Amino acid sequence: MKTRPDPCHVVIFGASGDLTRRKLVPALHTLSCEGLLPRGTKVLGIARSSLTDAGFRKRTYEGVESYARLKPDVCNLWPNFKNNISYMAGVYDDPETYGRLKERLDRPVNYLFYLATPPGLYPVIIEQLGKAGFGKNGLKDKDSGWRRVIIEKPFGHDLQSAKKLNDKIHEYFDEHQIYRIDHYLGKETVQNILTLRFANAIFEPLWNRNYVDHVQITVGEKVGVEHRGGYYDKAGVLRDMFQNHLVQLLALIAMEPPSVYEADAMRDEKVKVLQALRPEVRSVQAQYYGYRKEKGINPDSTTPTYAALELFVDNWRWRGVPFYLRSGKKLAAKVTEIAIQFKKVPHLMFPVPGGGDITPNILSLCIQPDEGIHLKFQTKKPGAGMATRSVDMEFHYAQDFGDNVLPEAYERLLLDAMQGDASLFARADGIELAWAVIDPVIKEWNKDSGLNPVFYEPGTWGPEEADVLLNGGSRSWLHDCAGH
Ligand code: BG6
């Protein structure tokens, strides 16, 4: 990880919600334990509920105890840490709230605003912050510190609403002040895609249409919609997972190497991939049996909880190579995995028992839960003859680096935002391009199949239709990461 940023006020809107308790304060606590938060950093929670500072601290302590990577008993920091946490009740659309906020924010003079409220409130909060002088026009001189805003997903509901939100933001803030969060980009193993590709010489020459047969990106979840039925039934899997996480993973796999690791250089390359995505997308969408009976779900809902897409990146590197993306709730396992399947050898001189085919080389990036990298290749089976067998060469983070060393995504992203590094955050154009791909797929589903959804059994890998999507069945979905 990096060096310590300047001290700042972290102001969390939506502070009585789950995200603050489960992710944000635990991440700040762990950063502090690791000595990465500078002395004097303060956390101010804002929400509508009336809570005392002590009440808010108690709530956040429970979160830190349950969810922090480094818990209070490991680093013994809480008694001091808690003194820097405070709370202010406020109504988000009332200028009076922001007047009081100004009075509360004395030193340090750097402010990181975190929008963790329901997304419908983002425009109001942005506008009020801007009008109260916290936006681009609020900085009178260079000594008055920085102001940055982190915005949680979902960023818009479709392309049009995302554009509208971007316009609203740009009325009051400059783009460089905005950090649109995608927690997948904060995952260590996701960042390792860049290291694997651009710090090694052996993969990149093969990383193109001449050697790659296809790419698969799987984000499977075992859980259903849990307590988020109200949100999820309106969103569905394409808005919840594809528009952000899966598209970002695709961009990291497909992008050209930037010349420096720097926010705009990185995001320029990702944007070029999104611009090259072919608008025609084949898709399968489905809903798990029992979804309609879950809390907060419309009993006639046609919202998909699973989707598989076939995408093409129409550029010199990738022309003709399908990228298969799939994600769903209530699947057989919790796993995020990216598989690069290479082409077969042009001619095989060895006999294959039974006359079949040999398994091609597959490089699997295991993003979670057993973080690592696997490479499948052929070896000679010991003994007489020349029979071959596919074996796996594996790297596991835990083996090489030890347990509990992988930072939580929010630790990394909060620290980056404090340091002014937006490399792992989405830019306005990137968000809109991702919507431009996903929006038509959602609309097509609503038009054609939404009235007659496909269903799948919980605990499986989704509907059979998804197998057919893979080139009529000659390719198959891969499960090469641990846990299968
Ligand atoms: C969130 C989605 O962005 O990502 C959730 O809203 C999903 O529905 C979650 O469960 C998955 O994240 P992770 O880090 O557990 O893979």
The more confident residue out of 6 and 324 is 324
What is the tally of helices (H) and strands (E) in the chain? Answer: 16, 15
Provide the CB-side half-sphere exposure for 463 (13 A, CA). Answer: 20
In the reported structure, the alpha carbon of residue 77 is separated from the centroid of ligand 1 by a whole-number distance in angstroms of 29
Span 63-102, pLDDT tens digits: 999 999 999 988 888 989 999 999 999 999 999 999 999 9
Provide the CB-side half-sphere exposure for 411 (13 A, CA). Answer: 25
- Position in ligand 1 atom list of the atom nearest CA 235: 6
Span 224-251, pLDDT tens digits: 999 999 999 999 999 999 999 999 999 9
CB 188 near ligand 1, within 6 Å: no
> SS3 for 21?
helix
CB 43 within 8 A of CB 12: yes
Q: What local confidence, expressed as pLDDT, does residue 74 receive?
A: 86
Token pair recorded at residue 213? 């047969």
- Which protein residue's CA is at the shortest distance from atom 2 of ligand 1? 240
Backbone angles phi, psi at 384, to 5 degrees: -65, 155
- Which protein residue's CA is at the shortest distance from atom 4 of ligand 1? 241
Token pair recorded at residue 253? 């796999």
CB 408 near ligand 1, within 6 Å: no
Positions annotated as catalytic residues are 245
By most ligand atoms within 8 Å of CB, the mutation choice from 180, 233, 241 for ligand 1 is 241
> SS3 for 231?
helix
Residues in a beta bridge with 366 = 337, 372
Backbone angles phi, psi at 292, to 5 degrees: -65, -15
List, in order, residues 6 or more apart from 172 with CB less than 8 Å away: 126, 127, 129, 130, 131, 135, 136
CB 240 near ligand 1, within 6 Å: yes
In the reported structure, the alpha carbon of residue 243 is separated from the centroid of ligand 1 by a whole-number distance in angstroms of 13
In the reported structure, the alpha carbon of residue 370 is separated from the centroid of ligand 1 by a whole-number distance in angstroms of 17
Span 445-474, pLDDT tens digits: 877 665 678 999 999 999 999 999 997 778
Distance CA(260)–CA(389), nearest Å, equals: 41
Asked if the model's pLDDT at residue 142 lies above 60, the reply is no
In the reported structure, the alpha carbon of residue 426 is separated from the centroid of ligand 1 by a whole-number distance in angstroms of 17
